[in-house]
Every structure is written in C-alpha cells, then in structure tokens.
Amino acid sequence: MTPDTASAIFSRLDPAKIALLFDVDGTLIDIGPSPFEVDVSDELKESLSRLYERTQGALALVSGRPIRDLDLLFAPLRLPAVGGHGAETRLSEGAPVSRIEDLPEGLRRHLIEAAVPGSGIVYEDKGYSVALHYRKAPQEAERLRRHIAAGRAAFPDERTEVLLGKAMFEVKRPGVNKGDAVRRLMTEGQFVGRAPIFLGDDVTDESVFDILPELGGKGFGVGRHFPQTAGIFPSPADVRQALHLLARDAQPSVRLGTAS
C-alpha cells in the first residue's frame, strides 16, 4: 500500500462519524534525542483544535506520556487523552484524570538509579511506572535489562511487567495497555457510536490495532506496517500534512483551555 493511498483514504474520512485517536511520539511528532527534546508546532495544534471541533470532541491523544506532560507539550490545548499506555484517562477538557495506583517508591527509586550522570540514560518517573530511555546510549541496553531484573527481583510481591518501546524499557503494572483503554474510551460520552481511527508507530500501539476490527475502526501505521492497517504514512510529517488537509475546511477554531 502506497503513502498516496493512505493519504487518500484519510482524506475521505467524515469527522461527524469518527473518533480520531493519535499516538504522539513518532506519530504526530518526530522522535527527539530524549522525551524532553521534541517540537510541537503551532500548525499541528491548530489542526488538532479544528478537528476536535469537527468531531464534536471525539479526538484523543493515546500516549505513553503522562497526561500532565501532554498538556505541557500541546499547550494551550487540553485534549481528551489516554496517558501512560492506559494508566491514565481524561475524557474531555476540564474533566478529572483517572489513574491507577503508583508503584512502590523503593522500586521506582531503584530503577531511576540506572540513569547515572554521563550514562546517556534518561528516566521518566510517572508514579505508576518508570520509563528508562537509552536513545543516546544504545550500548547501555543490556546493563538496563540487568538493572531492571534486579529491581523486580527485590520486590517479589509486586506484580510488574516490562514494556519495550523504541530504545526504551518501561516497568509498569501488568494488564495496563492502550488497547483496553481505547476500548473503554469508546464507550464514553462523545466517543459512543463513532468509528475509531487510530494512528500509531510502535510496538506499544499494537494492542490498539488489535481491537480496531471489533470496534468497526481503521488503523494507520506510521513508518511501519501493522496487521490490518488501512494505510501507512511514511513519517510524522506526512501525518501532520494529512491532518492539516482534513482540518482545512473547518471554521476558525476556539482554543481549548490553558495549560497548568
């Protein structure tokens, strides 16, 4: 399937009948040297704001990032969101964020100790999980595996699992994933009765692609093929262009809230 086909299919979507669901890093925005070195353009925010209106609020970010970080990146937008790979959910602007229980502080502290100064390792302590990024230090992957295994062994009564991403290991509670979170999201409020359209790029997105057929939705891969996808966009830049084209016929948008 060619990129032109993916763009053509996307351009024919009817915002009145769909819910737009987007992974963030590697899908809407380019992967940066670290999670804290990325760019979210004003043009992308404008496209999302217009599409939020055109879908009557049935648009959500579905990310591994905490929702608080999504709000900072996309400020002044405060979009519906699934954060932490399903550990957090916010259904609409101004709604409370629901989240699962945090991991023990001692386990989180042990995991974070892997990010010693000069190692190139960057950590994210999300409370309910800890992500260790080694984009700048691929040679550290095996050391991180051993460090994580030792930490989990030190807390044998705490059920955890390791999520693998792009140059990233994340220790989290089992049974938490984007797919289950999206399934719940589609039973709530403005999402009910709409066909989910999901864009993702990573193995952490596979659980969403897996459930789309049962929900009558379509999936689009970014930079890679996933089973049963309707199309593939070569890069986040191509996704941003497709969103711009889908949103361009909308009326001027009203900004959504302010960042906290």
Name the strands in the sheet holding 122-125, side by side, starting at the edge strand that comes first in the sequence: 122-125, 129-133, 168-172, 161-165
| Residues 6+ away with beta carbon under 8 Å from 4 | none
CB 69 within 8 A of CB 86: no
Give the C-alpha separation, 228 to 159, whole Å.
32
| Residues 6+ away with beta carbon under 8 Å from 182 | 21, 62, 82, 196, 198, 208, 211, 215
What residue has token string 């970010």? 61
Strand-pair category, 195-200 with 218-222: parallel
Determine how many CB atoms are found less than 10 A away from the CB of residue 160: 18
Q: Which two structure tokens, joined as six digits, stand for 173?
A: 């509670």
Residue 99, strand partner residues = 88
Q: At what angle do helices 178-185 and 206-215 cross, to 10 degrees?
A: 30
Q: Which of 4, 14, 23, 202 is catalytic?
A: 23
23 assigned to active site = yes
Give the C-alpha separation, 67 to 109, whole Å.
22
Question: How many residues in the chain?
Answer: 260
Task: List active site positions.
Answer: 23
